[in-house]
Amino acid sequence: MVATPPNTVEPIEIGTRLEPLIDDYLIDSLHNVKQVLHEPIRREVAIVNDSPWEGNVSGYHVVFQDGDLYRMYYRGWNLDGKSGQFSRDHTCYAESIDGIHWTKPELGLYEFDGSTRNNIVWEGEGTHAFAPFKDPNPACKPEQQYKAVGPIMGTPQKQGGLGAFQSSDGIHWSPMQETPVITKGAFDSLNLAFWDAPRQCYVDFHRDSRDGRRAIVTCTSPDFIHWSDPVWLECPGAAVEELYTNAVVPYLRAPHVFLGFPMRYVASRSSQSMEGVPAVTGFPDAKLSELGLTDAAFMTSRDGRQFHRWNEAFIRPGLSSDCWITRNNAPAWGVVETKSDTAEGISELSIYATESYFNKATRLRRFSLRMDGFVSIRADSLGGEMVTKPIIFSGKCLEMNFSTSAAGAIQVEIQDASGTPLPGFGLEDCPEIYGDRIKHVVAWKQGRDVSKLVGKPIRLRFVMKDADLYAIQFP
């Protein structure tokens, strides 16, 4: 057995997969460049929860793409500001062909005020925070192609927890069993679960209380019924804050990476004391102290337990006064690909977040980002550089997602594991690259082909000025 030489870094095998530069996983050194968190762009209101069976505390939206159809599930619920009475809650359904324009189909499944002409898709256990997903597990049974978790309320006769639900079509639902499948936790949140393809198991993320504050735990299952004991999510280096939701999802372009969009709850501040912000009416007096401010954060993980969470907000409440009301700016669970309306033929990422919660009917607004555009390595006009850790790839060329100004540029050098430039791939061999591309193939004077370096540990050096680098890949 050959020992690893001292001070040698074990190469990271990335194969042909996309690597978004959202953390320090691939980064060895940064010089006069920095990682920047990008705020998504506010777009149109996707849906207003203004039907009689919906209302001003509708929420916990779930969005995912299912073939050519986009599906949305959410809680329909209302608080009467005069009487202080909450309505009965339901799980509602909407759909879209583009992720932008949404309709509420009349499903005819459940009666409301004497009529089944509504979009109520589920009633019964779990409606407070019903979280469906399409199950890509190859071993999934036909009647379980769609699964969900939802909170089951405990009684003196029955233990509470998270229940498991199934559907063959995403519309007609039934419990997988009568008792909860997860019982350890505090489930008053949008708790969720999904199939984790790289790790070949189901993963759950749900709320629990840690040292008196709202926090997140995770557990795994081979079959969606038998779950491991929950363990805490850890965010080393992040501020100790309350996370009301988690919205963790595998990134659709790099499913080995988890993205999280928790709603951050600032208990020490109250929307009730802010001038011009609509007051919450009908809320129980005993709970007025729970009207803290909320916004959306961003976090990432490679293993589902250790997360890098940015202390800066990902989505701020903004200029609309009703977005400053407590429990607004809650990201829906889901990141989907949609067509851009500003760049022809280009796709972008869409996420969604709530507005006007506790005011009038809840709105769900769409936000957009460029592909892989959550975080970038940014250089200003003075320039700087990034060098990766040693990596091993298996593709034929190097693609990068980047943007520069008219005066900016990026050059790429390939080095051996010790940092020595490889012949033909030095900085002087790479003409300046400028523009704005989601997929740009890097070319050196000798061409684009890097297949002769497959299986060998190499480093990448990016020399940049007035530029952003979002992701790299060796396809």
Q: Is residue 3 part of a domain?
A: no
pLDDT for 5 equals 39
Task: Tell me, yes or no, whether 51 and 24 share the same domain.
Answer: no
The CA-CA-CA angle for residues 299, 234, 208, to 5°, reads 100
Query: Is residue 163 predicted with pLDDT exceeding 90?
Result: yes
Task: Tell me, yes or no, whether 146 and 175 share the same domain.
Answer: yes
Q: Is residue 5 part of a domain?
A: no
Task: Tell me, yes or no, whether 193 and 328 share the same domain.
Answer: yes
Q: Is residue 291 part of a domain?
A: yes
pLDDT for 283 equals 80
Task: Tell me, yes or no, whether 113 and 216 share the same domain.
Answer: yes
Domain boundary among 305, 339, 369: 369
pLDDT for 272 equals 85
- Based on its alpha-carbon atoms, the radius of gyration of the chain, rounded to whole angstroms, reads 24
pLDDT for 466 equals 99
Phi, psi dihedral angles at 129 (to 5 degrees): -155, 70
Query: Is residue 7 predicted with pLDDT exceeding 80?
Result: no
Task: Tell me, yes or no, whether 101 and 233 share the same domain.
Answer: yes
> For the residues 120-128, what does the mean pLDDT come to?
96
CA dihedral 423, 424, 430, 436 (to 10 degrees): -110
Phi, psi dihedral angles at 32 (to 5 degrees): 60, 25
Task: Tell me, yes or no, whether 341 and 201 share the same domain.
Answer: yes
Average per-residue pLDDT for the chain? 96
83-87, 178-182, 230-234: range with lowest mean pLDDT: 83-87
Q: Is residue 200 part of a domain?
A: yes
Query: Is residue 1 predicted with pLDDT exceeding 80?
Result: no
- Spatial neighbors of 51 by CB under 8 A, at least 6 apart, are 76, 92, 104, 118, 119
Domain boundary among 339, 369, 399: 369
Task: Tell me, yes or no, whether 326 and 343 share the same domain.
Answer: yes
pLDDT tens column, 330-371: 999 999 999 998 888 899 999 999 999 999 999 999 999 999
- Spatial neighbors of 187 by CB under 8 A, at least 6 apart, are 129, 151, 160, 161, 162, 206, 207
Task: Tell me, yes or no, whether 123 and 79 share the same domain.
Answer: yes
Task: Tell me, yes or no, whether 290 and 343 share the same domain.
Answer: yes
Task: Tell me, yes or no, whether 30 and 47 share the same domain.
Answer: no
Q: Is residue 330 part of a domain?
A: yes
Q: Is residue 462 part of a domain?
A: yes
Q: Is residue 110 part of a domain?
A: yes
> For the residues 400-414, what does the mean pLDDT come to?
99
Whichever domain contains 361, its CATH number is 2.115.10.20
The total domain count for the chain is 2
Helix (H, G, I), strand (E, B) or coil at 193: strand
313 pLDDT band, cuts 50/70/90, is very high
Give yes or no for a contact between 359 and 278, defined as CB atoms under 8 angstroms apart: yes
For 313, the domain range is 41-369
Task: Tell me, yes or no, whether 23 and 81 share the same domain.
Answer: no
Domain boundary among 353, 369, 385: 369
Task: Tell me, yes or no, whether 226 and 251 share the same domain.
Answer: yes
Quote the longest CA-to-CA distance of the chain.
77
**Percentage of residues in the chain with pLDDT exceeding 90?**
91
Q: Is residue 63 part of a domain?
A: yes
pLDDT for 60 equals 99
Q: What is the pTM of this model?
A: 0.95
